[in-house]
Structure 1
Amino acid sequence: MSSITETLLQLKDKNITFDHENISECVIRHKKSLVLYGKLTYTPDCCPNCHTTNGIVKNGTRQSRLSLCQISGLNAYLSLTKQRFYCKICQSSFTAETPIVDKHCFITNRLKQKIMDTFTETISETYIAKQHNVSVHTVRRIVDKVASTLKVNHNTQLPHHLCFDEFKSVKSSDSAMSFIYCDALTHQLIDVVHDRKPSTLLDYFARYDTQTRKAVKTITIDMFRPYIQVSKQVFPNAHIIIDPFHIVQALNRELTKHRVHVMKALHQNNRRLYNKMKRYWKLFLSNTDTLSSYPYHRFPLFDWMTHTQGIVDYLLEQVPELRATYDVVHQLRAALHNRDFDRFEEILIWAKQEAISPGLRRVLRTFKGYLPYIKNTFIYHHLTNGALEGINHKIKVLKRNAYGYRNFSHFRNRILFMCKLYVPYTVPSTSLVA
Structure 2
Amino acid sequence: MNHFIEKTFQLKDKNIEIDMDYCEEIEFKGRTSLFYRGTLAYKPEACPHCGIANNDYVIVSNGKRSSRLTLTAKSGLPAYLILAKQRFLCKACGRSFTAKTSIVNPDCYITNQVKQQIMDRATRVTCETDIAKDTFVSPNTVRRVIHETARAIRIRSTEQLPKHLSFDEFKSVKSVKAAMSFICCDTLSHKIVDVVEDRKTHSLSAYFSRFSRQARYQVQTITIDMYEPYMHLAKRWFPNAKIILDPFHLIQALNRELDRTRIRYMNEVRYKDSRLYNKLKRYWKLILKPKSDLMSTEYHRFPLFDWLTNTRSIVDYLIQHDDVLKDTYQMVHQLGDALRDRNWQRYQEILAQSRSMTLSKGLRRVLRTFRKYVVVLETFVIIIVQLLCFEANNFCVIFILVAFSQLV
SS in 2 for 1:325: helix
- Aligned pair in 2 of structure 1 residues 375, 309: CA closer, same or farther (>3 Å)? farther
Whole-angstrom distance in 2 between the partners of 1:338 and 1:132: 60
Which residue identity is paired with 2:349? E
In the alignment, what sits opposite 1:243?
Answer: 246
Match of 2:160 among 157, 161, 165: 157
**Partner SS state of residue 380, structure 1:** strand
- Alpha carbons of 1:276 and 1:174: their partners in 2 closer, same or farther (altered >3 Å)? closer
Counterpart residue identity of residue 152, structure 1: R
Distance 1:272 1:206, change over 3 A: same
1:272 pairs, out of 267, 272, 275, with 275
2:256 matched to which residue of 1?
253
Question: 2:231 aligns to what SS in structure 1?
Answer: helix
* Paired residue secondary structure (1:262): helix
* 1:219 aligns to 2:234 (yes or no): no
Deviates more, 1:131-140 or 1:156-165: 131-140
- Identity of paired residues, percent? 44
Structure 2 residue 261 is matched with structure 1 residue 287: no
Q: Which position in structure 2 is the counterpart of 1:184?
A: 187
SS of 1:299's equivalent in the other structure is: coil
1:10-159 alignment to 2 at 5 Å?
A: 113-115=123-125, 125-126=127-128, 129=131, 136=139, 137=141, 141-142=145-146, 144-154=148-158, 156-159=159-162
CA distance in 2, matches of 1:128, 1:152: 31
Residue type of the alignment partner of 1:387: C
CA distance in structure 2 between the partners assigned to 1:233 and 1:388 by the alignment: 24
Match of 1:91 in 2: none
Give the TM-score normalised by structure 1: 0.56
For 1:334, the equivalent position in structure 2 comes to 337
Are the counterparts in 1 of residues 118 and 145 from structure 2 also a CA contact under 8 Å?
no
Question: Structure 2: how far apart are the matches of 1:186 and 1:194?
Answer: 23
Match of 1:387 in 2: 389
Please give the alpha-carbon distance, in whole angstroms, between the structure 2 residues aligned to 1:377 and 1:269. Answer: 48
Evaluate the alpha carbon distance shift between residue 214 and residue 310 of structure 1 in structure 2; reply closer, same or farther with a 3 A threshold: same
Aligned mates of 2:285, 2:212 — CA distance in 1: 49
Amino acid at match of 1:141: V
Bigger proportion of residues as strand? 2
Partner of 1:296: 299
AA aligned opposite 2:165? L
SS of structure 1 residue aligned to 2:214: helix
Structure 1 counterpart of 2:157, one-letter code: N
Q: SS at the partner of 1:190?
A: strand
Letter in 1 for 2:213: T
Partner of 2:233: 230
**1:306 offset after TM fit, Å?**
0.9
- Measured in 1, the distance between the counterparts of 2:190 and 2:132 equals 32
Conserved? CA contact 2:118–2:142, under 8 Å: no
Q: CA distance change for structure 1 residues 376 and 230 in 2, over 3 Å: closer, same or farther?
A: farther
Shift of residue 222, structure 1, vs aligned partner: 1.7
Match of 1:314 among 305, 317, 330: 317
Offset at 1:159?
0.7
Give the SS at the match of 1:163. Answer: strand
Q: CA deviation at 1:132?
A: 10
**Contact map agreement 1:242 1:374 (CA 8 A) in 2:** no
- Aligned alpha-carbon RMSD (Å): 3.9
Deviation, structure 1 residue 296: 1.5
Q: Shift in Å at residue 213 of structure 1? A: 0.8
> Post-superposition shift, 1:433?
13
Range with greater deviation from structure 2 (356-365 or 141-150): 141-150
| 2:372 is the counterpart of 1:369 | yes
Paired residues of 1:383 and 1:433 also in contact (CA < 8 A): no
Q: Which runs of 5+ in 2 are unaligned?
A: 1-72, 75-111, 393-397, 401-408
The aligned residue for residue 262 of structure 1 is 265
State the shift of 1:172 in Å.
7.7
Deviation at 1:248, TM superposition (A): 1.4
Structure 2 CA distance for partners of 1:374 and 1:185, relative to 1, 3 Å:
farther
Cα pair 1:243 1:377 within 8 Å, conserved: no
Contact in 2 for aligned 1:335/1:344 (Cα 8 Å): yes
Q: Distance in 2 between matches of 1:183 and 1:214?
A: 16
**1:315-372 CA distance string (max 9 Å, x none):** 2333344221111100111111111122112211111111222221111111001116
Provide the C-alpha distance between the structure 1 equivalents of 2:129 and 2:348, rounded to a whole number of angstroms: 52
1:126 maps to amino acid: E
Q: Distance in 1 between matches of 2:304 and 2:381?
A: 41
Q: CA deviation at 1:171?
A: 8.3
Name the SS of the counterpart of 1:268 in structure 2. coil
Aligned counterpart in structure 2 of residue 323 of structure 1, from 326, 331, 349: 326
How many matched pairs?
286
Aligned partners of 2:167 and 2:224 also within 8 Å: yes
Report the TM-score, using the length of structure 2 for normalisation: 0.60
Unpaired segments ≥5 residues, structure 1: 1-63, 66-102, 119-124, 391-431
Answer whether contact 1:240 1:373 (CA < 8 A) is retained: no
- Of 183-192 and 206-215, deviating more is 183-192
